[in-house]
Amino acid sequence: MITREQIPTVLDHPVYDTDGNKIGDAKHVFLDDATTQPEWVSVKTGMFGTSESFIPISDASLVEDHLEVPYTKDTVKDAPNVDVDAGGHLSEEEEHRLYEHYGIDWDAAWQQQATQRQPGTGREAGTTDDAMTRSEEQMHVGVERREVGRARLRKYVVTEEVQQTVPVRHEEVRIEREPITDANRDAATAGPDISEAEHEVTLHAERPVTQTEAEPVERVRLTTDERTEEETVTGKVRKEKIEADQPDEDEKRQR
């Protein structure tokens, strides 16, 4: 059972179900007109808290900084939609539908408080005196992280032509003639006087030879950089206005 003194601790704090799953954040606590004790809590659920569900808190418990209710998250999300009027009340029909959804004996609860109950049940906390509370909706914008694409590294082989200039050498025949001198006369007259002869010289030449060898040149990896951009979100919020109907001067004089 949640007391009225614990209401500030409940508001804007998480609400968990029987399995320890977070249902949402508590936004309003509604009091029973007859007992003036907390009877319902409204919880923001859905994406960015766009839906508001009502949960009975007669059997709820406050644990540290959150509220635990004896219902599953799916049960709460499937609760009937309730449109609370400007005075912060649940109609009898709306409360009946909520009791039925949560399996609470409506007749027993009604008879128990019939002698004390006044029209309009489930008054929001904070409206027990003669002052009127004016409320406004606040838009809370959150962000969700989603996958927008994937990047991958792929290695493949291409063949390119490369050119490189290298010096190559080759041998050419050059005829040298030298006159007979005393130094070479013996070598020149060593053979027959008149005869036929051949002399062969082997010529050599260099040619380019290529050879390839794989060498590591760099390492490549994928990294991500996070950038922050400003994006404008537009939404609609409701606010209450209070006007006073006052008697005019003629009415005052007639009285």
CA atoms within 13 A on the CB side of 55: 36
Q: Which residue has the higher pLDDT, 34 or 115?
A: 34
Confidence of residue 130 (pLDDT cuts 50, 70, 90): low
CA atoms within 13 A on the CB side of 5: 0
Instruction: Answer yes or no: are the C-beta atoms of 242 and 138 closer than 8 Å.
Output: no
Domain ranges for the chain, please list them.
4-128
For residues 31 and 58, give the distance between their C-alpha atoms in angstroms, rounded to a whole number: 11
pLDDT, residue 253, reads 63
For residues 60 and 241, give the distance between their C-alpha atoms in angstroms, rounded to a whole number: 33
CA atoms within 13 A on the CB side of 28: 21
Q: What is the pLDDT of residues 12-27, one digit of tens each?
A: 899 999 888 999 999 8
Confidence of residue 44 (pLDDT cuts 50, 70, 90): confident
**Residue 2, Ramachandran bin (φ over 0: left; ψ between -120 and 50: alpha; else beta):** beta
Q: Which residue has the higher pLDDT, 61 or 107?
A: 61
Across all residues in the chain, what is the average pLDDT? 83
- 23 Cβ neighbours under 8 A, 6+ residues apart: 14, 15, 16, 17, 43, 45, 53, 55, 69, 73, 76, 77
Share of the chain above pLDDT 90, in %: 27
Q: Which residue has the tokens 């007669």?
A: 58
pLDDT, residue 252, reads 60
Q: What is the pLDDT of residues 239-255, one digit of tens each?
A: 888 888 877 766 666 65
Residue 7 above 60 pLDDT?
yes
Confidence of residue 153 (pLDDT cuts 50, 70, 90): very high
pLDDT, residue 119, reads 44
Q: What is the pLDDT of residues 67-123, one digit of tens each?
A: 999 999 999 988 888 776 545 677 788 888 898 898 888 776 666 555 444 444 455
**Given 3.40.50.300, 3.90.50.10, 3.30.1330.100, 3.90.1150.10, which CATH number is that of 4-128?**
3.90.50.10
Task: Tell me, letter by letter, the H, E, C secondary structure of the chain.
Answer: CCCHHHHHHHCCCEEECCCCCEEEEEEEEEECCCCCCEEEEEEEECHHHCEEEEEECCCCEEECCEEECCCCHHHHHCCCCCCCCCCCCECHHHHHHHHHHCCCCHHHHHHHHCCCCCCCECEECCCCCCCCCCCECCCCCCCCCCCCCCCCCCCCCCCCCCCCCCCCCECCCCCCCCCCCCCCHHHHCCCCCCCCCCCCCCCCECCCCCCCCCCCCCCCCCCCCCCCCCCCCCCCCCECCCCCCCCCHHHHHHC
